[in-house]
Structure 1
Amino acid sequence: MRLLSHVEASPEQMRILADTRPGFHLVRGAAGSGKTTTALLRLRQLCATRLNRRERLQQEEPVRVLVLTYNKTLQGYVAELARQQVSGSAGLVLRVATFSKWAVDMVGNGGLVDRVRTRPVIRSLASALPLPDDFIVDEVEYLMGRFRPEDIEEYLTARREGRGQAPRVDRALRKRLLTEVVSPYISHKEKCGWRDWNDVAIEAGRAGGQPVWDVVIVDEAQDFSANQVRTISAHVSGDHTTTFVMDATQRIYPRFFTWAEAGVQLTNAHVLRSNYRNTRQVAAFARGLVEGLPHEDDGALPDFLACDRDGPVPAVAVGRFGDQVHYAIRRLRNDIDLTSESVAFLHPKGGGWFDYLRQVLASEGIAWCELTRASGWPSGPESVALSTVHSAKGLEFDHVFMLGLNQQVTPHGDEEGDAMLDMLRRLLAMGVGRSRKTVTLGYKADDPSTLIDLLADGTYEEVRV
């Protein structure tokens, strides 16, 4: 599976690379604006600057560099690229990891439980609340990740930006959530000897005796929680340079917080406006999915006016799932060069939802690899990747297929401004934005996802298969 090709820094990126001052920096931009590329170029520049200073001052301590990503798939991808940027540098210690792995290495994984264990407990405790189960689970994750344990009562009066307009959660419901769900959940964890991922983040932030980091790059920072950001801040050197790279429009987890409340005072904020990845047609298609969502300060809409390339109009295949798959295979055979181009099949759920696709790819003799939760970037010759949309965050491919977009795989509430629908809109737009050349969506005519209705007229071609 191909990595990003070598690129020269643009004038827009050069301005960011030139800012090597200590402190916290923010780089934000829409999908396709080169955020990950900029982060890696900045990594190389900051490492060179620090190494030169180390040699000039004849310092013995190495320059310690930390690159953090949100998930394993992106970690494997970024790790390969990061090592290409700074490989062979004497006097430099480079660590590329997910936040979770980095934190666990500090505090251990004893008693650690994942969402498969915690979510049923939260749902059971919340059974009397007049809110959807999935929404409550996300709300609990949101508030516990945003506030320190000792400050959890601040949830009662805090602004709930980034969580949608519905369901409405007034002060009375917030109080019930704290007393009927959060407090019993914390007690349940203590009784069972459980630690969840937020506990690990908090413990890691308080862990003493840890080495500090001189250069830190945090990619896809919009999906880090406030407690995770506090932990990062607790382990940087006195003259660190830390860069958060993000786009709030692509936030797909309930993580909203302000930099100030997380204890971060930004030295500078940089904006990437050009779209280097997408064609004008792909960017226009993605923009229609998120246009009208609540604006967030660190977000940016996909901008087709900022693209410099044209390409085919995205296709939307309508028919039975098997027919969608065989349409995609014909595209692979007739329109795509698998010796030089990359292809991603993305799906909101993944796993067993890819079973039929795997069978067809195998019968056609088309090699593929799985990206979801992969801790290392695939090094084989495969040009076709299968992944959940979540795991594709930060990646890019020449061609993107998202088939089987039926209502069953995109459930949400019915109220205007529903938080789950807003999240799904961001998720689908993020998946579309992974494409450099073409996008193909697919759905069954008698069970379309409501997201299909949000596609902007004139931005795609419907194909009956």
Structure 2
Amino acid sequence: MRLLSHVEASPEQMRILADTRPGFHLVRGAAGSGKTTTALLRLRQLCATRLSRRERLQQDAPVRVLVLTYNKTLEGYVAELARQQVPNSPGLALRVSTFSKWAVGMVGNAGLVDRERTRTAIASLAASIPLPVDFVIDEVEYLLGRFRPENLDDYLGARREGRGQAPRVERVLRQRLITDVVLPHIAHKEKYGWRDWNDIAVEAAQIVGQSPWDVVIVDEAQDFSANQARAIAAHVSTDHTTTFVMDATQRIYPRFFTWTEAGIQLANTHVLRSNYRNTRQIAAFARALVEGLPQEDNGSLPDFHASDHDGPLPTVAVGKFSNQVRFALRHLQTKIDTGSDSVAFLHPKGGGWFDYLRQALNREGIEWCELTRASEWPSGPESVALCTIHSAKGLEFDHVFMLGLNQQVTPHGKEEGDATLDMLRRLLAMGVGRARKTVTLGYSADDPSTLIDLLGVGTYEEVRL
């Protein structure tokens, strides 16, 4: 699977690379603005600067460098790119990891239960709360990830930015969530010796005696929780340079927090404004999906004015799923050069939802690979990848197909400002933003996702199958 092509730093990126001062730095920008590229160029620059200083001062200890990603797929992608960017030097100790793997390495995984088991346990306590069960689960994960265990009552008066306008969670309901769900859940975990991923983050922040990191790069930081940010901040050297790279508009998990409450004082904030990846048509298509959503300080809408090249209008194919797949494969075989271009089929769910597509690709003799949760980037000749939209965060492809966008796979509440709908809008826009050249969406007219109604008039070409 082809990696990001080599790029030279733009004037916009050069200003960021030149800032090698110690402290916490934030790099933010919309999809397509080159955030991951900037992170890797900054990684190379900071490593070179630190190695030069180490040699000048004749220091024995290696420069310790940590690159953290949110999921395994991005870890594999960034690890491969980092190996190309960073010199192989005995004076440099480089680690690329997901946050979870890094934290478990410090505190161990005894009693660790997976996220689905945790969600099931919370659901069993949520019946008494007059809110949708899935919303309660997300709300509990949000408050546990944002506040330290000893400060859970801070949730009662906190602004719930990033959680949508509905359902409303007034102070009385917040107290009930703590009393009837959160505290019993914590007691249940203690009784059975369970630890969840938030516990791992909290414990990692309390570990002492670990060798600190001199350079830290955190990619897709908008989906890290406050407790994860606290853990990172607890393990940096006194003159560290730590860079968080993010776009709050692409946040697809309920993990809003402020840097101040996480104990992080930013030395500088850099903003990437140009859109190097998307055509103007793709950026306009993505923008319509998130326009009108509440904008956080660290978020940026896709900007077609910031793109410098044009391409065809995105395509929306309407018909039975089998016809969507047939249309996509015909397009793939006749209009895409798979010898040089990369192709991704993305889906909100993945897994078994890809079964029909897998069979169709095999029948046509098209080589493909799976990217979801792949901790090593595929090194084979395949140019076609299957991946959940969640796992595609931070990646890019020449052509993106998202088929089967029916309401069954994008369920949400009916209230205006529903938190789940807001998340789905960000998720689909993020998937669209992975594309460099073309985007194709598909849905059945019998069960269209409500997201289809949000597509901007004139931003796409519809094809009836």
Q: TM-score range by the shorter chain?
A: over 0.9
- Report the equivalent of 2:393: 393
Quote the Cα distance in structure 2 between the aligned partners of 1:150 and 1:117.
Answer: 24
The aligned residue for residue 332 of structure 1 is: 332
Q: How does 1:363-382 map to 2 (within 5 A)?
A: 363-382=363-382
Letter in 2 for 1:97: S
Question: Distance in 2 between the 1:112 and 1:383 partners?
Answer: 36
Asked if residue 164 in structure 1 is aligned to residue 164 in structure 2, the reply is: yes
Gaps of 5+ in 2: none
Amino acid at match of 1:160: R
> 1:423: which partner in 2?
423
Which residue does the alignment assign to 2:103?
Answer: 103
Secondary structure at the counterpart of residue 96 of structure 1: strand
- Per the alignment, residue 137 of structure 2 pairs with 137
Paired letter, 2:50: R
- Verify: 1:88 aligned to 2:88, yes or no: yes
Return the alpha-carbon distance in structure 2 between the equivalents of residues 143 and 366 of structure 1.
45
* Corresponding residue for residue 312 of structure 2: 312
The yes-or-no answer on 1:351 pairing with 2:354 is no
Aligned to 2:58: 58
1:78 aligns with 2:110: no
- The CA distance in 2 between the partners of 1:100 and 1:44, in whole Å, is 24
Q: Does 1:22 align with 2:26?
A: no
- Write the distance in 1 (CA, Å) between the matches of 2:428 and 2:146: 25
The amino acid across from 1:345 in the alignment is F
Give the Cα separation in 2 of the matches to 1:134 and 1:378: 34
Q: In the alignment, what sits opposite 2:178?
A: 178
Q: Name the SS for the 2:73 alignment partner.
A: helix
Q: What is the rounded CA distance, in whole Å, between the counterparts of 2:346 and 2:283 in structure 1?
A: 18
Distance 1:130 1:434 in 2: 38
Q: Once the 2 structures are TM-superposed, how far is the Cα of residue 133 of structure 1 from its aligned partner?
A: 1.0
- Paired position in structure 1 for 2:452: 452
Matched AA of 1:323? N
The equivalent of 1:45 in structure 2 is 45
User: Residue 115 of structure 1: CA displacement?
Assistant: 1.6
Aligned equivalents of 1:221, 1:88: Cα separation in 2: 26
Q: Deviations over 1:363-394 (max 9, x none)?
A: 00000000000010000000000000000000
Shift of 1:87: 3.2
Amino acid at match of 1:182: V
1:253 aligns with 2:253: yes
Q: Tell me the CA shift for residue 461 of structure 1.
A: 0.4
* CA–CA distance in structure 2, aligned partners of residues 319 and 252 of structure 1: 28
Distance 2:82 2:230 in 1: 24
Residue 215 (structure 1) shift: 0.2
Q: Distance in 2 between matches of 1:377 and 1:413?
A: 36
Distance in structure 1 (CA, Å) of the matches to 2:275 and 2:295? 20
Whole-Å separation in 2 of the counterparts to 1:434 and 1:224: 20
Residues 264-283 of structure 1: pairs in structure 2 closer than 5 A: 264-283=264-283
2:360 matched residue in structure 1: 360
CA apart distance, 1:208: 1.6
**What whole-Å deviation, never above 9, does each CA across 1:265-291 have from its counterpart, x for those lacking one?**
000000000000000000000000000
Residue in 1 aligned with 2:195?
195
2:403 alignment partner in structure 1:
403
Aligned residue identity for 1:202:
V
2:79 is matched by which residue type in structure 1? A
Letter in 2 for 1:429: A
1:121 & 1:218 partners in 2: Cα distance? 31
SS in 2 for 1:126: helix
Distance 2:377 2:80 in 1: 7
| Deviation string, structure 1 residues 302-330 (Cα, Å, up to 9, x no partner) | 00000011001000000000000000000
Q: How many angstroms does 1:121 deviate by? A: 1.2
Partners in 2 of 1:88 and 1:114 — Cα distance? Answer: 36
Matching residue's letter, 2:159: R
Normalised TM-score (structure 1): 1.00
2-structure distance, mates of 1:155, 1:332: 50
Take 2:114 and 2:152, find their aligned partners in 1: how far apart are those partners?
Answer: 21
Shift of 1:427: 0.1
Specify the SS of the correspondent of 1:94.
strand
**Structure 1 vs Structure 2 CA RMSD:** 0.5
Q: Give the distance between the partners of 1:283 and 1:388, measured in 2 at CA.
A: 21
- Give, as a single letter, the amino acid of the residue that structure 2 aligns with 1:68: L
CA–CA distance in 2 between the matches of 1:278 and 1:349? 24
TM-fit CA distance, 1:207: 1.0
Q: Read off the aligned partner of 1:135 and give its amino acid letter.
A: F
**Match of 1:240, SS?**
strand
SS of structure 1 residue aligned to 2:127: coil
Match of 1:115 in 2: 115
Residue 119 of structure 1: how far off its partner (Å):
1.0
Query: CA shift at 1:118, angstroms?
Result: 1.1
Q: Deviations over 1:243-264 (max 9, x none)?
A: 0000000000000000000001
C-alpha distance in 2, partners of 1:33/1:340? 22
Which residue of structure 2 lines up, in the alignment, with residue 215 of structure 1?
A: 215
How far off its partner does 1:89 sit?
2.2
TM-score, normalised relative to structure 2: 1.00
Q: 2: distance between equivalents of 1:368 and 1:158?
A: 46
Alpha-carbon distance between aligned partners in 2 of 1:383 and 1:185, rounded to the nearest angstrom: 45
- For 2:262, the equivalent position in structure 1 comes to 262
CA–CA distance in structure 2, aligned partners of residues 300 and 125 of structure 1? 37
Cα deviation code 1:420-452 (max 9, x no counterpart): 000000000000000000000000001000000
Partner of 2:436: 436
- 2:224 matched residue in structure 1: 224
Report matched runs for 1:272-311 at 5 Å.
Answer: 272-311=272-311
What is the match of residue 34 of structure 1?
34
Uncovered stretches (5+) of structure 1, i.e. residues with no partner: none
State how far apart, in whole Å, the 2-side matches of 1:454 and 1:85 are. Answer: 40
Distance 2:192 2:446 in 1: 46
Q: Secondary structure at the match of 1:284?
A: helix
The one-letter code sitting in structure 2 at the alignment partner of 1:446 is: D
Cα deviation, residue 88, structure 1: 1.5
Give the Cα separation in 1 of the matches to 2:109 and 2:115.
15
The percent of aligned pairs where both chains have the same amino acid is: 81
Distance in 2 between the 1:12 and 1:89 partners? 29
Give SS of 2:111's match: coil
> How far did 1:189 drift?
0.4
The number of aligned residues is 465
Give secondary structure in 1 for the equivalent of 2:128: coil
User: For residues 89 and 139 of structure 1, what CA distance do their matches in structure 2 show?
Assistant: 45
